[in-house]
Amino acid sequence: MEHRQTVVIPDIRTDPRIPQEAYRPTFVRSMIVSPMLGPEPLGALGAYWDRVRQPSDVEVRTLETLAGMAADALARFPEGLPDPGFHL
């Protein structure tokens, strides 16, 4: 999020950016995280795997596309998401 770029991490156990203590008890071994961007970062969308692997370019582009679509949807609600009873 800090650099407003997608991050691909094939092996979280060898990446110094990963807080090891947070991920050690989880199944996660590799990941892609893509920011949901507006004028300010809105959040991030991630894909996670239970084994070491290099995600394909198609997987990375797909996640980036989904993150962009999610950011566009969130931007339509600058005051936050409507209550569940809201109808367009």
List pLDDT tens digits, range 2-12.
678 999 999 99
pLDDT higher than 70, residue 86: no
- The answer for residues whose C-beta is within 8 angstroms of residue 12's C-beta and 6 or more apart is 18, 20, 23, 28, 29, 30, 31
Q: How sure is the predictor about 19, in pLDDT bands with cuts at 50, 70 and 90?
A: very high
The candidate with the shortest Cα–Cα distance to 62, out of 51, 39, 46, is: 46
For 44-82, write each residue's pLDDT tens digit. Answer: 999 999 999 999 999 999 999 999 999 998 888 767 666
Domain count, the chain: 1
Q: Are 47 and 28 in contact (CB under 8 A)?
A: no
Domain range for 47 = 1-54
CATH code at position 39: 3.30.450.340
Question: For residue 58, what are the β-bridge partners?
Answer: none
Q: Counting Cβ atoms within 10 Å, is residue 65 exposed (0-12), middle (13-18) or buried (19+)?
A: exposed
Residue 60 covered by a domain: no
DSSP character for 71?
H
What pTM was computed for the model?
0.80
pLDDT higher than 70, residue 43: yes
